[in-house]
Structures are given as structure tokens and as C-alpha cells.
Amino acid sequence: MGRHYSHKQRREFTDANRAAWDEAAPVHEKINQARLLEAFSKPGYSTLEDHCLHRLNEIGFQGKSVAQLCCNNGRELLSLKNLGAGPCVGFDASAAFIEQARELAQVSGHTDVEFVITDIYDIPANKSGPYDVVVTTIGVIGWMPDLDGFFDVLERLTRPGGYVFIEETHPVLMMYEEGEGGDPSYLKYSYFKEDPWVETTGLDYYEGAKYKSSPHYSFQHTLADTMMAAINTGFVLRHFTEFGYNIAEFCVDLEHTQARPPMGMTMVWQKC
């Protein structure tokens, strides 16, 4: 199932990606941080999409301990805190994005929300929970070279009976390439692509700005790869939904085609 990298190879990928995200942080900050600082200064503000919030409300996160992996600037974790979550901890490898998260926490008044700088595979034991709810939102799984190791981390973080909520781009969508100059998106990659994507054109998903960046690596994981990594770790699937509409600002035109592919998905796993 899936691909296997040595610990050294895995670290090389995650170190490279951390450097690229540190480079992206000031780009994102310039575009978005002032607006978020103003928004989070108001009680109850949330950036969570309805499809995420609906499922998280079904799980029941209010008053519960919540951890988020690859929390970026903390906007989603702080949203959960605004909506009634208990103790919250966010983990991300990028020190630059964690700095932005701490700024947002300060203006929101949630100075008890903790943000930890760490490679996701190396979360320190004293921060490993267990937590009632562990969250990953769109764009996390594709950065993980080792899905088995990733779900081992999720298992370690989650209390018995607790839940893991995953929002993610559907792996079928990753078969497509966006057209240029208004051209339609088109099929390009195998669903079973084994080698990583390597890019140096930046990581701005707000305005699509291109800039020369350090190389960063992302990975195609089939639906079976993800599901079996979770099952083999001992999680039980409680809910799975696929979406035929844009949730990632990627190949958006496919949302309106007659032969729509699945574009996004959410999963709820329980540790039993």
C-alpha cells in the first residue's frame, strides 16, 4: 500500500517544505493578515466552511480539547475556540506562520490557545495529548510523504473514543492540471502517481501569485491509501462525504462541467 520512504528521505521532504512555507508566510501576511486581525478582534468570528462546521458540530467539539495538525496561521483553530472549543493546540512546522497564529490569538483574546512549532512527524511527547478531537483541513495529506506515519501520529494524539476530522482535496482531482489563460482544466496525471510533484513557483493560494521559491514536494495518495492507513492504525470510519464542488480553489472550472469529478471530501474517524 502506497510508497515507503526512509526516515532520512522523509525528513528531507518535510524540511524542504518547511522552508518553502516560511517563504510563503510574508506573502500570505501581506494579503490576508490585516483583515484577519480585524476580524478576530470581534467575538465569535469563524473562517470555517459550512461543510466542516456541520460535521464538527455532529462530533461535538464544544468544551472539548482540540488539536489541529498543520494549522498554518491558526485561523481555523481559533474559529473553533470562538465557537466553544475547550483547550486548543495547533501544530505547524513553519515558525513564520506560527508567529501569525500567535498574533491572531492575541487579538482574539484566546491567549490560552497554544501553537507549537514542530515537524508533524516529531510532535513532542509532552504535547501529544490525548485530545478529544484532532482536525486536519484541506491541503494537509498531500504534503505527507508517509501516510502510515502520519496516521500513527493521529492515533497517538487522539484519546480512546475521540475523533479525527479530515477535510481534504479528493485524490481524483489531483489527476488534473489547471489550464492557462482561461483554458479548461485537463487530465494529466495518473491516479496512481508514485513520484512526488516538485514545484518552485510559490505557495500563494489566495491570489495565485507566482514567485521563485525553494523546491517543495507534494504527494499523490489514493483514497485506498488514506483509508487503509487509518484502518491499519485502528481507527473506525464514522462518516465519509464527497463533494462535487470547489473547496480548494483548484481546477475551479470543473465544478461546472457535465462530467464533474469529485473535488473534495470529509472523513470522520473514531479511535476505539
In a domain? residue 110: yes
Question: What's the whole-number mean pLDDT along residues 127-152?
Answer: 97
Domain that holds residue 228: 7-271
In a domain? residue 1: no
**Prediction pTM value:** 0.95
In a domain? residue 130: yes
pLDDT in tens, 200-248: 988 777 766 778 889 999 999 999 999 999 999 999 999 999 999 999 9
In a domain? residue 57: yes
In a domain? residue 69: yes
Nearest residue to 111 (alpha-carbon basis) of 101, 119, 120? 101
pLDDT in tens, 108-126: 999 899 999 999 999 999 9
pLDDT in tens, 63-108: 999 999 999 999 999 999 999 999 999 999 999 999 999 999 999 9
In a domain? residue 76: yes
Q: Which pLDDT score, from 0 to 100, does residue 206 have?
A: 72
In a domain? residue 2: no
In a domain? residue 167: yes
What is the CATH number for 257? Answer: 3.40.50.150
The domain tally of the chain equals: 1
Sequence letter at residue 110: H
Helix, strand, coil shares, percent, the chain, to 5: 40, 20, 40
Residue 27 CA to residue 24 CA, distance in Å, equals 5
pLDDT in tens, 146-202: 999 999 999 999 999 999 999 999 999 999 999 998 899 999 999 999 999 999 988
